[in-house]
Amino acid sequence: MANDPKSKFDLEERTAKFGEDVIQFAKKIIRNPITMPIASQLVRSGTSVGANYCEADCAESRKDFEHKLGICKKESKESRHWLRMVATADSTLKEDARKLWKEANELNLIFSAIVRKSKMKKFEI
């Protein structure tokens, strides 16, 4: 997770770090028929947050920006779900999953606030 105070506000770096942390975490998951699809889904959603943030950062319109950030919101929320499933499937990873879950939750709240503010600006005169 973001330890550097500067990176805490650099969403491109923070979302990339989250994706990297998810990858490192997924490497710790013991592979079996239950955990393999969960780990795969977690890596997809966790790394998608940063990729979609990069797309939002280069959006061609406000609508495109809000759409891409909406995807970031969905992917961070989905990551929380898969982290919960990992913690259930392998209780030895519960604490690490909890740390990542908190970061995914913070990112979700940040994206929600940005989308909300962007939509409010549409109605300002």
User: Got the DSSP string for 87-122?
Assistant: HHH-GGGHHHHHHHHHHHHHHHHHHHHHHHHHHHHH
* Digit-coded pLDDT (tens) for 4-41: 555 457 999 999 999 999 999 999 999 999 999 999 99
Fold of domain 11-122: de novo design (two linked rop proteins) (1.20.1440)
Higher pLDDT, 56 or 124: 56
Question: What's the pLDDT score for residue 121?
Answer: 76
* Digit-coded pLDDT (tens) for 51-104: 999 999 999 999 999 999 999 999 999 999 999 999 999 999 999 999 999 999
- Domain edges within the chain: 11-122
- What band does 49 get if pLDDT is binned at 50, 70 and 90? very high
Alpha-carbon torsion (24, 83, 98, 76), positive or negative: positive
Q: What is the pTM of this model?
A: 0.88
Task: Please tell me what DSSP assigns to residue 14.
Answer: H
